[in-house]
Amino acid sequence: MSDVVVPNPYAPPRARVQDVAAQGAALVLAERSSRLGAAIVDSLIFMAMVYLPMGIGAVIGTAVPGSDNAAGPVLMVVGLTLAGFVAWTWLTLKQMSATGQSLAKKRFNIKVVLSDGSPAPIGTLIWKRNVLTWLLSILPLYSIIEVLFIFGEKRQCLHDRMADTIVVEA
């Protein structure tokens, strides 16, 4: 008998594939309400993962009786806050690099893509959409003006325009 291995034609593909927008398929822009809901839920997730541990650390740190040294409670608050931030960052980056979605965008079934429909690189998602917007938010009224851009025909906030991205249904 020969040892010929016949591949199973019904086996799933072994290659790792990436979603690609179908040629000629129209992208459906995400509803403004979905974007707002995802932004609110993302904020709540961030607060739960970063600010909640900070508050717990502050409560526990100040509850230690007879402690005249403030270094212990401060280290506890900083440590728990940092641990929460690292966990949030890891989960968010993992999700964004895999699907172009934040944790809440996944739940709301929307995602960020480049204006031509191709997947947005993780660098664009982080630097152009998030960090640049965060830096510009120190300008008075920037945050309000930035969000008002969503009422345009393309439903793009200012950070979408700067990054050349759109938010579509996943």
Q: What is the pLDDT of residues 83-134, one digit of tens each?
A: 999 999 999 999 998 888 999 999 999 999 998 888 999 988 899 888 988 8
Total residues belonging to the chain = 170
The domain spans of the chain are 32-169
| End-to-end Cα, the chain, rounded Å | 51
Position 82 scores a pLDDT of 93
pTM of the model: 0.75
110-114/165-169 β-pairing: antiparallel
pLDDT band at 67 (very low <50, low <70, confident <90, very high): low
- Longest CA span, the chain: 82
The tokens describing 1, both together, are 């008998």
Mean pLDDT value across the chain: 85
In this prediction, residue 50 carries a pLDDT of: 92
